[in-house]
Amino acid sequence: MSRVLAIHTVRSLVEYFDRKLRIASPSTDFFHILDEALLERIRLRGRVAAEDTGRLESHLAVGLEIGATAVLVTCSTLSRCVAQIQGPGRLRILAIDDALADAIVSFQGSIAVLATNPTTVEPTRQTLAARGLEPDRESKVAIHVVAGAFAALQRGDAIAHDEMVAAAVNDHLGRYDKVALAQASMARATELLTEQQRGRVFSSPELAIERLVGILEGGRLAPHGATKGVE
């Protein structure tokens, strides 16, 4: 039986991903690490630093110790840290927004990429730039922050957070062909959308889980080097 370790920085995502992952791969054992302080120190600092990659690597070591096949890092702010972890190995590491970034780059129409945490903006921009797409310099893709939504989530008001995200999605769908939600914590807000609206939204959890299941079932790696390995 395969084992997967999920690393989170937002408390509400532990239960959310545990439920989604167990439905997607019932025969897999899932374990979780919650490190809210990691994201908070990035927020206070205003940027991702080398020590954040080091802290993430300490969590990855736990994955090796428990015999995990793969690790899913659900915090998009840490995606560039994942990209800096080099070397082939038996532990596959997936950044939450790599599959999302591939979907954005492949889409031919216009896309509004929405985030709630300002610390997500630059890592998202870098992830897209690594695939040859420069947001805001090309009219088809622009990144926007949903003001106030992340603060609501931090104070425990998930309902207000979801309502603000859903309202922002509805607004941007009037001006763009699709909306991409840059953070996994935003995905729950899609439940407030109509079925037609949901069909025009890219959300990272579903895409990342689909990619993870593909790796578990067939060892298939993601394009663009979206998975890394450690020994």
Cα 188 from chain centroid (whole Å): 13
3-state secondary structure of 180: strand
Q: Is residue 170 located within the same domain as residue 148? A: yes
Q: Which two tokens stand for residue 146?
A: 């949903």
**At residue 112, what is the residue type?**
A
Q: Which domain holds residue 64?
A: 3-96+205-230
Which amino acid, one-letter code, is at 27? S
CATH of the domain at 199: 3.40.50.12500
- pLDDT in 10s for each residue of the chain, 231 residues: 799 999 999 998 999 999 999 999 999 999 999 999 999 999 899 889 999 999 999 999 999 999 999 999 999 999 889 988 854 467 899 999 999 999 999 999 999 999 999 988 988 988 898 888 887 665 689 999 999 999 999 899 999 999 999 999 999 999 999 999 999 999 999 999 999 999 999 999 999 999 999 989 875 444 434 455 555
CATH number for the domain including 21? 3.40.50
- The count of structural domains within the chain is 2
Segments in 86-231 forming alpha helices (H): 98-106, 121-129, 149-154, 158-173, 195-198, 204-218
Q: What are phi and psi of 62, to 5 degrees?
A: -65, -40
Q: Indicate whether 56 and 143 sit together in one domain.
A: no
Q: 86 and 11 in one domain?
A: yes
70 and 119 share a domain?
no
Residues 147 and 144: their CA atoms lie apart, in Å, by 9
**Structure-token pair, residue 169:** 């999605």
Do 195 and 147 fall into the same domain? yes
Each residue of 144-195: pLDDT tens digit?
A: 999 999 999 989 999 999 999 999 999 999 999 999 999 999 999 999 999 9
Give ∠ CA 203-219-97 in degrees, rounded to 5. 20
Pair of tokens at residue 176: 């763009």
